[in-house]
């Protein structure tokens, strides 16, 4: 877009940037900067327009973009161009991800590189390595308290090893996802250390206050994220003799994006990791980026402006790189992290589908898909060119953040229903097979969340203890069914390491002083590679889960209707135990798949005629593409086995 004020400013900025930047061959950089500059300028002005040094800050911003463009390795620039040509590449059904801790999964980064064949055997071609940047020894919130944003933690390896891993992955067509913790730093980070030493410049990198007056104003409306281990949102720092905002743990200092220097530093860091070979950057805790007195300081308009600005800037320097929004917030808010408009206000191409995840666990507890259906029905369509990250479990707790209105529509009272769910998964009911732990319990509000590994929450731990083969089989079926939903739902399925082997809870965290107050460690296991070998031993739970998943992943990749173009139609079978939807490829309408999952531990029937289901398929023979078997449909009625899932296609 041509806009005279921005255009004149761009010319002035290009005159002012450092002379060495002007000498370089920057053709592609300049076209991209020109195309995005109006947006960048408008957004930057929206955040920092009141400042006298606005233009100087913009010069610095453009220098950061140019320096990182110059530093960007040639093969990555080539990828950028390829992805610009095929900008919907990540919506394809071929991508299947896994999130893992390098150390707990494999050891050091070179060990992880050696384990790539295991992931490829399963069909995983997108690996999210959980935080590996430098962080202090002892408690570091699983790596989310970063003390140096430009180096790999020595316990994980070196920057060279990470680059080598990235190159090995690229050579095998595997995408690399890295975490960038944009909301806060460790209190050991150089900026925090300088702030503690009294440097005003760095105190302004954080929200620091000399007394409780302003913190108290914030506290009136800000909820607590970790009410048990880190109550309140501020911590008094003795060395600095000031209060500092610490929304998460006391050692995680919130960055102050009201200061443009913070924005520019973090942009530089994002581009640095893009240049180390990351295809996708996971932006942590993005809902929290902007704090405002009198609000919850989550999902603020300015947080979106920051993300749009990050995106537009990244588009100039590293356009092939995607962002994942980690915003575990209400469904109506999550959707906004894709942006408001695919062209003028886009933010993150990918977002965690926390709503569907939590709703699936609701259906597991109740054996009823009613609330799951209501919740999915209320989920607005995404923007074009945006996609979900669909998951069953991850390294965090399960928060029950779905919508109260949907809970009411499903026939429950919101507060008591949430209480029931937490109790169900954490030992409150003797008939529940789930073995979870409570997390983030807030005595004042009554809120609580759930921790636990997928297999233990699904009942496998207790079934194995009881040794009842049919019970064990039901749990395995449930685990496969939940994955069958995320593989077919639309978006990138993200498996969580260990779940492919049915890994149970790991209780060893209870004896570790740095972990015992955080029950999420119960589901962050160290992989036992001897056990992993059992994936090849016929009949073991490991084999049944791993091979079942491997097969479903293979079928997903061959099913064009599973690509994500908002091409999902939710169905309403009469049995409330069933969750069913239809997927059809917009360009290949004959490619249709009916997905039907049974949350009950007894068989359930679905009348295809009533749903117009038969109509979708004509008179051809119906086949379940998961098992490859023909389906028996009697008088229009299909029977789905306990915890079964069918991907129905006509042949
Ligand atoms: C994100 C991470 C979580 C961490 C928090 C604070 O939500 O997923 O593990 O505790 O951010 O960094």
Q: Phi, psi (5° rounding) for residue 596?
A: -135, 125
Helices and strands in the chain, H and E counts: 25, 28
Span of 59-73, 274-288, 299-313, 379-393 with lowest mean pLDDT: 379-393
Span of 185-194, 327-336, 358-367 with lowest mean pLDDT: 327-336
101 CB under 6 A from ligand 1? no
**Averaged over 350-357, what is the pLDDT?**
97
Query: Quick one: pLDDT band at residue 537, thresholds 50, 70, 90?
Result: very high
The pLDDT value recorded for residue 171 is 96
What separation in Å is there between the alpha carbon of 483 and the centre of ligand 1?
Answer: 23
The DSSP line for 457-524 is HTTHHHHHHHT-HHHHHHHHHHHHHHHHHHHHSSSEEEEETTGGGT----GGGGG-TTTTT-GGGGG-
The pLDDT value recorded for residue 253 is 98
Span of 1-10, 411-420, 440-449, 487-496 with lowest mean pLDDT: 1-10
pTM exceeding 0.75: yes
Distance in angstroms (rounded) separating the CA atoms of residues 334 and 343: 19
What separation in Å is there between the alpha carbon of 285 and the centre of ligand 1?
Answer: 6
Ligand 1: which of 104, 181, 285, 397 to mutate, judged by most atoms within 8 Å of the beta carbon? 285
- Candidates 275, 288, 322; CA nearest to 492 is 322
The pLDDT value recorded for residue 615 is 60
Distance in angstroms (rounded) separating the CA atoms of residues 482 and 490: 14
pLDDT digits (tens, 9 = 90+) for 269-306: 999 999 999 999 999 999 999 999 999 999 999 999 99
pLDDT digits (tens, 9 = 90+) for 561-611: 999 999 999 999 999 999 999 999 888 888 899 999 999 999 999 998 877
Degrees to nearest 5, angle at CA 564 with 550 and 275: 80
The pLDDT value recorded for residue 393 is 98
Say if residue 205's pLDDT is above 60: yes
Q: Check if the beta carbon of residue 435 is closer than 8 Å to that of residue 462.
A: yes
Residue 542 has which token pair? 């490991």
- Candidates 317, 325, 247, 315; CA nearest to 283 is 325
284 CB under 6 A from ligand 1? yes
End-to-end CA distance of the chain: 50
Query: Quick one: pLDDT band at residue 618, thresholds 50, 70, 90?
Result: low
Say if residue 65's pLDDT is above 70: yes
Q: Check if the beta carbon of residue 360 is closer than 8 Å to that of residue 454.
A: no
The percent of residues above 90 in pLDDT, for the chain, comes to 89
144 CB under 6 A from ligand 1? yes
Which domains, and CATH codes, for the chain? 91-182+258-557 (3.20.20.80), 184-254 (3.90.400.10), 560-650 (2.60.40.1180)
The pLDDT value recorded for residue 482 is 99
The pLDDT value recorded for residue 646 is 98
SS3 531: helix
Q: Report, as residue numbers or ranges, the catalytic residues.
A: 284, 326
SS3 594: strand
Say if residue 1's pLDDT is above 60: no
pLDDT digits (tens, 9 = 90+) for 509-521: 999 999 999 999 9
Ligand 1: which of 141, 179, 523 to mutate, judged by most atoms within 8 Å of the beta carbon? 141
- Candidates 600, 593, 557, 550; CA nearest to 575 is 600
pLDDT digits (tens, 9 = 90+) for 426-478: 999 999 999 999 999 998 888 999 999 999 999 999 999 999 999 999 999 99
What separation in Å is there between the alpha carbon of 481 and the centre of ligand 1?
Answer: 27
Distance in angstroms (rounded) separating the CA atoms of residues 45 and 640: 57
Residue 486 has which token pair? 């995320």
The pLDDT value recorded for residue 586 is 87
**Averaged over 83-110, what is the pLDDT?**
97
The pLDDT value recorded for residue 612 is 62
Distance in angstroms (rounded) separating the CA atoms of residues 279 and 267: 16
Q: Check if the beta carbon of residue 358 is closer than 8 Å to that of residue 399.
A: yes
Distances (CA, A) of 453 to 352, 393, 436, 456, 470: 18, 7, 8, 5, 21
Say if residue 341's pLDDT is above 90: no
141 CB under 6 A from ligand 1? yes
Report CA torsion sign: 15, 19, 21, 25. positive
Q: Per 3-state DSSP, what percentage of the chain is helix, strand, and coil (rounded to 5)?
A: 45, 15, 40
Say if residue 344's pLDDT is above 90: no
Report CA torsion sign: 56, 62, 65, 66. negative
518 CB under 6 A from ligand 1? no
Q: What is the mean pLDDT of the chain?
A: 95
The β-bridge partners of 450 are 398, 438
């Amino acid at each position: 877009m041509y806009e005279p004020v921005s255009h004149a400013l761009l010319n002035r900025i290009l005159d002012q940037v450092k002379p060495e930047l002007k000498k370089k061959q920057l053709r592609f950089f300049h076209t991209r900067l020109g195309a995005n500059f109006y947006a960048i300028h408008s957004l930057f002005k929206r955040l920092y327009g009141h400042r006298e040094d606005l233009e100087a800050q913009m010069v610095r911003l453009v220098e950061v973009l140019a320096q990182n463009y110059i530093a960007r390795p040639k093969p990555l620039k080539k990828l950028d161009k390829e992805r610009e040509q095929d900008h919907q590449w990540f919506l394809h059904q071929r991508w299947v991800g896994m999130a893992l801790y390098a150390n707990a999964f494999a050891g050091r980064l070179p060990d992880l590189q050696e384990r790539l064949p295991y992931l490829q055997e399963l069909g995983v071609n997108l690996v999210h390595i959980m935080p590996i940047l430098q962080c202090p020894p002892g408690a570091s919130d699983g790596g989310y308290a970063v003390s140096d944003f430009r180096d790999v933690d020595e316990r994980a390896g070196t920057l060279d090893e990470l680059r080598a891993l990235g190159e090995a992955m690229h050579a095998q067509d595997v995408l690399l996802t890295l975490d960038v913790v944009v909301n806060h730093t460790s209190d050991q980070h150089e900026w925090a250390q300088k702030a503690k030493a009294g440097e005003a410049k760095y105190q302004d990198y954080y929200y620091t206050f000399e007394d409780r007056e302003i913190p108290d104003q914030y506290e009136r409306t800000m909820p607590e994220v970790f009410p048990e281990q880190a109550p309140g949102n501020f911590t008094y720092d003795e060395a600095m003799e000031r209060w500092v905002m610490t929304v998460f743990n006391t050692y995680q200092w919130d960055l102050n994006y009201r200061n443009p220097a913070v924005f520019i530093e973090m942009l530089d860091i994002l581009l640095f990791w893009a240049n180390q070979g990351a295809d996708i950057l996971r932006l942590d805790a993005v809902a929290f980026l902007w704090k405002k007195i009198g609000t919850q300081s989550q999902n603020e308009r300015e947080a979106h402006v920051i993300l749009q600005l990050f995106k537009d800037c990244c588009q100039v320097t590293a356009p092939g790189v995607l962002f994942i929004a980690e915003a575990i917030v209400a469904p109506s808010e999550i959707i906004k992290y894709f942006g408001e408009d695919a062209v003028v206000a886009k933010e993150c191409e990918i977002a965690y589908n926390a709503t569907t995840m939590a709703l699936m666990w609701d259906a597991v507890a109740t054996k009823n898909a009613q609330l799951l259906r209501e919740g999915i029905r209320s989920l607005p369509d995404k923007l074009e060119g945006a996609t979900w990250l669909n998951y069953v479990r991850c390294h965090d707790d399960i928060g029950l953040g779905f919508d109260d209105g949907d809970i009411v529509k499903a026939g429950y009272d919101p507060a008591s229903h949430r209480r029931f769910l937490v109790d169900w998964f954490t030992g409150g009911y003797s008939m529940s097979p789930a073995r979870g732990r409570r997390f983030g319990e807030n005595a004042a509000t009554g809120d609580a969340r759930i921790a636990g590994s997928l297999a233990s929450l699904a009942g496998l731990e207790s079934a194995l203890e009881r040794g009842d083969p049919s019970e064990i089989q039901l749990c395995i079926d449930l685990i496969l069914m939940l994955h069958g939903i995320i593989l077919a739902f639309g978006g990138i399925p993200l498996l969580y390491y260990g779940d492919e082997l049915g890994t149970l809870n790991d209780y060893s965290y209870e004896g570790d002083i740095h972990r015992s107050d955080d029950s999420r460690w119960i589901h962050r296991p160290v992989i036992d590679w001897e056990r992993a070998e059992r994936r090849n031993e016929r009949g073991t739970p490991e084999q049944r889960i791993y091979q079942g998943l491997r097969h479903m992943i293979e079928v997903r990749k061959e099913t064009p209707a599973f690509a994500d173009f908002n091409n999902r139609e939710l169905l309403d079978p009469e049995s409330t135990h069933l969750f069913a939807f239809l997927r059809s490829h917009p360009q290949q309408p004959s490619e249709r798949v009916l997905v039907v999952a049974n949350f009950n531990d007894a068989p359930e029937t679905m009348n295809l005629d009533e749903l117009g289901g038969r109509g979708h398929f004509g008179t051809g023979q119906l086949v379940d593409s998961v098992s490859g078997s023909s389906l028996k449909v009697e008088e229009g009625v299909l029977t789905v086995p306990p915890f079964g899932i069918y991907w129905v296609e006509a042949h």
